[in-house]
Amino acid sequence: MSTLFNNIGCLFTNSQGDSPVSLAARSAENFLGEICDAAIVVEDGKVAWVGESKNSPAADVQIDLAGQTVIPGFVDSHAHLMFAGDRAEEFSARMQGQSYSAGGIKTTVAATREATDAQLEANLARLVAEMHASGITTFETKSGYGLDVETESRSLAIAAKHTSETTFLGAHVVPQEFKDVAKFGSVEAGADAYVDLVKNAMLTAATPHAKWIDVFCDRGAFNVDQAREILQAGISAGLAPRIHANQLENIGAIQLAVELDCASADHCTHLTNQDIDALAHSNTVATLLPGAEFSTRSKYPDARKLIDAGVTVALATDCNPGSSYTSSMAFCIALAVREMRMSPAEALWSATMGGAKALRRNDIGHLSIGARADFAVINAPSYIHLAYRPGVNLISETYIAGRAVTK
């Protein structure tokens, strides 16, 4: 069966593929693939035809989108949805001046370990419904709030029922039980013991349910040598690498990301010119997470400098209970435009095609013929309104493989 979605005010297809590097090229070229008075035909969940409405072919079913704007579905390439509990009090304290150093993760770990599978899945389903309502059609999610073999494995098994983009993040932080100096002799010995657990028993249990492996390589988490050791173990087990890099401080994580051909280096808040040059000459996407800076009152990454250097940039929500408890990509777009000097067009591209590239996917993030028919309908005359009207959910409908998921 074919479905014709017609009477689209403006359609943005991202059909040009890679975005131009320079600002001059961006202003001169229609890199978002804009078509006005447009239509799109979907067959078997994929885009079969796209163009101006006046040229649209016949179809079995027609859906009138009443002059609204259509964009590719948002691709959220960095989220932490497998958790239990709440950290609202931590957020309140932070807003009153306490600093963020990833210390509150232990609170979520305790709650997640105690939660049943049903409770974890119900929380995941709630957040996925929020994402769909905000136009997100593909999402990645990580483990990382279990930090023991059983909870990491069951978290990923639950996540795998809802997305193919599952990430093993046993190396989130060193859990409290491995910080017992009396037991291990030193803090360093405890951390080494935990690294051994992550790259052996925990990795073995997680691998059947995971596509990716990730490490939080930063101050207060894992150093470069530990991160390399864990990521290489994951690669040997058949998982593809990605990395949390330089959120709190620059400890060399970007260079490691490029060395190991990580699909994405995420956060990228503290960068040297050498880091930026390395990213620009690599296959690694810089995934920026402005919700984290907003929620921790931290310095925003310099998206303008990255883009102008030729780095591929993605935007993601970083939805998690501690440092970015938002499932709204539109909110992250508004922050990127206001705080990170991205244009609205660059932000839209980064939240769609950029996210797809961070997941090394070519079937999503755009609406070219043959792509999966994932798209969001905006009740506004332009995608610019996503940043222009912050805090307002303008997504009226979300479609995954041509089927509405928000009605």
User: Does residue 66 sit in the same domain as residue 117?
Assistant: no
pTM: 0.95
Q: SS3 string of the chain?
A: CEEEEEEEEEEECCCCCCCCCCHHHHHHCCCCCEEEEEEEEEECCEEEEEEEHHHCCCCCEEEECCCCEEEECEEECCECCCCCCCCHHHHHHHHCCCCCCCCCHHHHHHHHHHCCHHHHHHHHHHHHHHHHHCCEEEEEEECCCCCCHHHHHHHHHHHCCCCCEEEEEEECCCCHHHCCHHHHCCHHHHHHHHHHHHHHHHHHHHHHHCCEEEEEECCCCECHHHHHHHHHHHHHCCCEECEEECCCCCCCHHHHHHHCCCCEEEECCCCCHHHHHHHHCCCCEEEECHHHHHHHCCCCCCHHHHHHCCCCEEECCCEECCCECCCCHHHHHHHHHHHCCCCHHHHHHHHHHHHHHHCCCCCCCCCCCCCECCEEEECCCCCCHHHHCCCCCCEEEEEECCEECCC
pLDDT at 102 over 70: no
Residue with the larger pLDDT of the pair 30 and 64:
64
Give residue-wise pLDDT tens across range 333-355: 999 999 999 999 999 999 999 99
Give residue-wise pLDDT tens across range 123-168: 999 999 999 999 999 999 999 999 999 999 999 999 999 999 999 9
The verdict on whether residue 155 carries a ligand-binding annotation is no
Give me the CATH number covering residue 188: 3.20.20.140
User: Does residue 213 sit in the same domain as residue 66?
Assistant: no
User: Does residue 47 sit in the same domain as residue 182?
Assistant: no
User: Does residue 312 sit in the same domain as residue 251?
Assistant: yes
Confidence at residue 21, expressed as pLDDT on a 0 to 100 scale? 46
pLDDT band, very low/low/confident/very high, at 378 (cuts 50, 70, 90): very high
User: Does residue 9 sit in the same domain as residue 42?
Assistant: yes
User: Does residue 78 sit in the same domain as residue 62?
Assistant: no
Please state the rounded mean pLDDT for residues 15-28. Answer: 52
The verdict on whether residue 145 carries a ligand-binding annotation is yes
Please state the rounded mean pLDDT for residues 318-324. Answer: 95
pLDDT band, very low/low/confident/very high, at 267 (cuts 50, 70, 90): very high
The answer to whether residues 341 and 29 touch, using CB atoms and an 8 Å cutoff, is no
The verdict on whether residue 320 carries a ligand-binding annotation is yes
User: Does residue 180 sit in the same domain as residue 318?
Assistant: yes
Residues 6 or more apart from 131 whose CB is under 8 A from it? 76, 139, 317, 319, 327
The verdict on whether residue 78 carries a ligand-binding annotation is yes
Query: What is the domain range of residue 108?
Result: 74-358
Dihedral sign for Cα atoms in the order 134, 135, 137, 139: negative
User: Does residue 52 sit in the same domain as residue 172?
Assistant: no
The verdict on whether residue 244 carries a ligand-binding annotation is yes
The verdict on whether residue 318 carries a ligand-binding annotation is yes
Nearest to 74 by CA among 19, 123, 132: 132
User: Does residue 197 sit in the same domain as residue 300?
Assistant: yes
Domain boundary residue, one of 358, 376, 396: 358
pLDDT at 101 over 60: no
Q: Find the angle CA(33)-CA(34)-CA(37) to the nearest 5 degrees.
A: 140
Give me the CATH number covering residue 393: 2.30.40.10
The verdict on whether residue 87 carries a ligand-binding annotation is yes
Total tally of structural domains belonging to the chain: 2
User: Does residue 55 sit in the same domain as residue 87?
Assistant: no
User: Does residue 305 sit in the same domain as residue 334?
Assistant: yes
User: Does residue 65 sit in the same domain as residue 78?
Assistant: no
